[in-house]
Structure 1
Amino acid sequence: MITVGLTGGIGSGKTTVAKMFEALGVPVYIADHEAKRLMHTSQVIRKKLIKLFGEKAYLNNELNRPLLAEAIFNDRKLLQQMNAIVHPKVKAHFIKWKAKQKAPYVISEVAIVFENDTYKNYDYIITVTAPEQERISGVIARDHSTKEKVQAIINNQWKDAEKVKLSDYVISNTNMESTKKQVLQLHNLLLKNATSD
């Protein structure tokens, strides 16, 4: 079974692309959803996040997202420390999830693979790209965020050009029809690769 990493900068449309693969019958693992779930349910993660961010990391038994977002906003080291707590647990969960799938290939939709060197864990990497201005306006509308905050997240991620160099495939997400066609072509190619392995 082939493992495909699906990545892209914030607002690039990787979740939209993931849903298109899912519609074609491909099992898709959304790493961000799992990370959020584990930050709520894992006592080990909870203790470590409280140690890193202080007692206010959780309020009324819920993860204090605004506090964490504010703390890591311009602090790359803190972001890396948080990822070092959460990512290994997500990886372990993904391995268990993958073992239960019955498909020629699976997709893991993950925001960061190049920045933390985990792209080597996948057989193939697909990077979704989109024009930066469209990404910014899309995220502002989706998350009710500010341009400054979205730009800070973009600045913390690798540039598309750097990601593309290390990717096996690129989906240029500029309009829905074109994106669907690219997904279908890639799906057929990955099915072929999976059966020839």
Structure 2
Amino acid sequence: MLKIGITGGIGVGKTIISRMFALLGVPIYDSDARAKWVMRHDEGLQQELIDAYGVEAFTGEGELNRTFLAKIVFNNPQRLQQLNALVHPHVRNDFFKWVAMHADKPYVIKEAALMYESEAWKQIDKMIAVFAPLDVRIKRLLHRDKHRTEADISAIIERQLSEEEKMARADHVIFNDDQQLVIPQVLALHDHFLSLTSE
């Protein structure tokens, strides 16, 4: 079974691309959603987070206090790196358990914004980078995330690995730039991955 990674910066449309693959019957591992789940359900990780950030890391109901954590790590690269270093190994373990559950499939997809930064790409067979120009990404994000300003979005983008580097390191690129049709690109890659698994 092939493990395919999908990555790209905020606003490029990773989730839309993943949904297209899902419609073709491909299991999708949403790293962001699973990370939130793992932080709520993995007692070992919960204790590590409390040790690092204090009991305020969780609410009285046992939910992750995302607002509290965001304030700590948002403008502090060292604290953000610390948070990622705690969370990513647990998410990696969760991913491999999930992969085992889909062993009957020709290939699965892991969607993650920080695929290279977290070194998760090392557990992946083929990488897809989704690309959209900066102006298109900002326009999409201002429409999607009403609470964010253009300055907020630019700050997030600046902290992420450049799109040029992601594309250079990827095996395949999907252009989601509002100029090229996306569905034919997805279908071509789907056929390609199926051909690799049938060799």
Q: CA 1:129–1:177 in structure 2 vs 1: closer, same or farther (change >3 Å)?
A: closer
The reply to whether residue 82 of structure 1 matches residue 79 of structure 2 is no
- Report the counterpart of residue 107 of structure 1 in structure 2: 109
Letter in 1 for 2:74: F
1:165 aligns with 2:165: no
CA deviation vs aligned residue, 1:33-58 (integer Å, no higher than 9, x gap): 11001111222222222222223222
2:114 maps to amino acid: I
TM-score (norm 1): 0.93
Give 1:174 deviation, angstroms. 1.8
Q: Which ranges in structure 1 are unaligned for 5 or more consecutive residues?
A: none
CA distance in 1 between partners of 2:143 and 2:72 (Å): 22
Q: Which amino acid aligns with 1:168?
A: D
1:57 aligns with 2:57: yes
What's 1:190 paired with?
193
**Cα root mean square deviation, aligned:** 1.6
| Structure 2 equivalent of residue 40 of structure 1 | 40
Whether 1:22 and 2:22 are equivalent positions in the alignment is yes
CA distance in 2, matches of 1:41, 1:120: 25
* Percent of matched pairs sharing the same residue: 41
Shift of 1:64: 1.5
Q: Corresponding residue for 1:133?
A: 135
User: Runs of 5+ in structure 2 lacking a partner?
Assistant: none
Distance 2:54 2:158 in 1: 26
Q: TM-score, normalised by structure 2?
A: 0.92
What secondary structure does 1:5 align onto? strand
Q: Tell me the equivalent position of 2:7.
A: 7
Deviation of the 1:77 alpha carbon: 1.5
Distance 1:129 1:103, change over 3 A: same
Aligned partner of 2:163: which letter?
D
CA contact (8 A) 1:34 1:90 kept: yes
Shift of 1:176: 8.7
Determine if contact 2:174/2:185 at 8 Å carries over to the other structure.
yes
Find the aligned partners of 1:35 and 1:146 in 2 and give their Cα distance. Answer: 25
| Letter matched to residue 66 of structure 1 | T
Name the SS for the 2:181 alignment partner: helix
2:149 pairs with 1:146: yes
The residue number in structure 1 matching 2:120 is 118
